[in-house]
């Protein structure tokens, strides 16, 4: 249980230490990517790789923000994310917790991030949970709103989706304005 009691002593800067590994995912700025998978291993791998490497050896930094159904401390430990902000989609209250029924706060948080960074990446994990707590069309509008802001910026978004959770029409609507990864 020690995992859940650990508190970070420094304020997250959303800058992960650069590792001496190369970038293995070429995610173009201003684009959103959908990954059909369950669980979201490739999505997290791509996200961690992007925030932990420099593009083309330039020494530049890509800042990230993650929203997930998994507990943030578990994500930090599993993927060695020290400083990247991680928001938890949960029905409880707390710092860095977003209610699955509050799509406005979710959109505001991610749009604000995109507006404040020139080279960022968003991981939005838990769309199935959002749909189970809201109407699909409301969730689609929220994803499209975030995607519109991504398109106008130099940021990117990764959206893992379990295709078993959606019918063909819903999946097609989600994929319409995104590129497929994987």
Q: Is the pLDDT of residue 20 over 70?
A: no
Classify residue 117: in a domain, yes or no. Answer: yes
Contact 130, 100 (CB under 8 A): yes
Q: Supply the range of the domain harboring residue 153.
A: 28-180
Any domain includes 3: no
Highest mean pLDDT among 33-37, 117-121, 151-155: 33-37
Average pLDDT over residues 83-102: 95
Contact 22, 147 (CB under 8 A): no
How many other C-beta atoms lie within 10 A of the C-beta of residue 140? 18
Average pLDDT, the chain: 88
Banded model confidence at residue 24, pLDDT cuts 50, 70, 90: confident
| Contacts (Cβ under 8 Å, ≥6 apart) of 153 | 29, 30, 114, 115, 117, 118, 120
Give 146-171 pLDDT, tens digit per residue.
999 999 998 999 999 999 999 999 99
Q: Is position 84 within any domain?
A: yes
Residue 14 placed within a domain: no
Identify the CATH number of the domain in which residue 92 sits. 3.40.50.300
Whole-prediction pTM value?
0.86
Q: What is the pLDDT of residue 58?
A: 57
Residue 36: inside a domain, yes or no?
yes
> How many structural domains comprise the chain?
1
* Per-residue pLDDT at 16: 55
Residue 38 lies in a domain: yes
Per the domain annotation, does 157 fall within a domain? Answer: yes
- Asked if residue 143 belongs to a domain, the reply is yes
pLDDT tens, 36-83?
A: 999 999 999 999 999 998 776 556 788 999 999 999 999 999 999 989
Q: Three-class SS string for the chain?
A: CHHHHCCCCCCCCCCCCCCCCCCCCCCCCCEEEEEECCCCHHHHHHHHHHHHCCHHHCCCCCEEEEEECCCHHHHHHHHCCCCCCEEEECCCCCCCEECCCCHHHHHHHHHHHHHHCCCEEEEECCHHHHHHHCCHHHHHHHHHHHHHHHHCCCCEEEEEECHHHCCHHHHHHHHCCCEECC
């Amino acid at each position: 249980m020690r995992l859940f009691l650990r508190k970070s002593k420094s304020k997250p800067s959303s800058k992960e230490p650069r590792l001496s590994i190369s970038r293995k995912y070429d995610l173009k700025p201003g684009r959103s990517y959908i990954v059909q998978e369950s669980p979201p291993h490739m999505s997290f791998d791509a996200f961690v790789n992007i925030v932990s490497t420099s593009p083309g050896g330039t020494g530049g930094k890509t800042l990230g923000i993650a929203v997930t159904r998994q507990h943030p401390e578990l994500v930090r430990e599993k993927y060695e994310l020290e400083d990247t902000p991680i928001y938890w989609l949960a029905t409880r209250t707390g710092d860095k917790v977003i209610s699955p029924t509050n799509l406005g706060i979710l959109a505001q948080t991610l749009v604000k991030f995109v507006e404040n960074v020139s080279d960022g990446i968003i991981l939005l994990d838990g769309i199935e949970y959002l749909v189970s707590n809201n109407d699909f069309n409301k969730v689609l509008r929220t994803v499209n709103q975030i995607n519109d802001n991504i398109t106008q910026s130099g940021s990117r978004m990764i959206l893992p989706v379990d295709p078993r959770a959606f019918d063909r029409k819903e999946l097609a609507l989600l994929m319409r304005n995104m590129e497929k990864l994987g």
